[in-house]
Amino acid sequence: LSLRVKIPIIARLRTSEPGRLPEAVEPSSDPPALALMTDSSEDEEENEEEQLCGSGDARKIVHYRNDAYAPSGKTRARFMRMAFLKNKSVWFVCDPCGIVCAVMTYLLVLYGQFVMLTVIAPPFPGTWTVLRVLGFSALGGLAVVAHVRSMLTDPGVVARERTSEEEVLERRQKGEDIRYCKRCRSIKPDRAHHCSTCENCIHRMDHHCPWVNNCVGENNQKYFVLFTFYIMVMSVYGLLTVAWFFYTCATQNFEGCDALMPGPLVFVLTLMGVFLGFLFSLFTCIMFCTQIHAICTDETVGLVFPLFSPFLLYFQLYSFLYTLLFSLYFYSFLYTLLFSFSTQFCV
């Protein structure tokens, strides 16, 4: 009785010159067992293929085995392996401004929760207060989840297929309608635009939003719409809650309204909450309405609203950021004055 062991012969590909097909190489003359032991690069190549961008038929995963067709260097936005996610690859944009804005978004959501739990809720214990806090916390949690999904989702990166300008010119002379990206040096489909921050072409790119540290494109637009909706509702909900707090305290001559904190600090925290709530409710309402209008008309914001071009959008966001930082400094200075005044002259 004889045993037959079938050992697959792995054909290797020799890196060919640009424009030529890869040539097959004769298998090694080593024994089969030794050939299997020495050939350890196959698993590494499979692991490398899992790290590349793209999804679906139009954005299939492309492994650049030839340096002539590989992207030049690493882009700012790419898939990264996360240890806490069991080494799964997630999309992330390594932009300092976007990272700062994303962290500031989380801090502002936490600030709203802090004011709700330490200023609004303690003076009025009861069932309605618990429901108010739970509703506000639920909106904050949904906003954070939508923000994380918007930030870590591939917006729709176009797979790069290196094509020379001469080849594009020849195909255009033949009557083909081709859109070519000179930065990616690749053909891009219709309604795809190049993002200078992500350094990639994005399918149905709407705009690049620093607050979510990502482009808003075909794959993550729904998460961005949900994020703006939750922040808008959360801001309006916070404004109504603060208005109810001031009205109730005014009817009680502000007795017991400083349950955990002194009166001046309560005034400054609530006033700052009113300012941030009004600012964010207005800002997110504009973004939410423009997104809904663009979705209904099947267009992008940059085409429907020319004022939302990348340059003007960045200018508006940076102006908003500087205004926010100045407001934080102003209210901290106001709190210092009120606190010193209360400790010296108030009994």
Q: Does residue 209 have an active-site annotation?
A: yes
- Which among 258, 282, 275, 290 has a CA at the least distance from the CA of 325? 275
**3-class secondary-structure state, position 296:** helix
Q: Residues near 297 by Cβ (< 8 Å), separated by ≥ 6?
A: 304
Q: Residues near 24 by Cβ (< 8 Å), separated by ≥ 6?
A: 11, 12, 13
Integer angstrom CA distances of residue 60 from 9, 54, 56, 160, 161: 28, 5, 5, 10, 11
C-alpha 93, offset from chain centre: 8
The kind and range of the H/E element at 193 are strand 192-195
Task: Identify any residues that bridge with 296 across adjacent strands, giving them in sequence order.
Answer: none
CB burial readout 199-218, b (16+ within 10 A) else e: bbbbbbbbbbbbbbbbbbbb
Which member of 101, 195, 201, 209 is catalytic? 209
Please tell me what DSSP assigns to residue 118: I
Q: Which residue has the tokens 């799964």?
A: 88
Instruction: Please tell me the chain's helix, strand, coil percentages from 3-state DSSP, rounded to the nearest 5.
Output: 55, 10, 35
Q: Which residue has the tokens 């037959």?
A: 4
The residue type found at 95 is: D
Catalytic amino acids?
A: 209
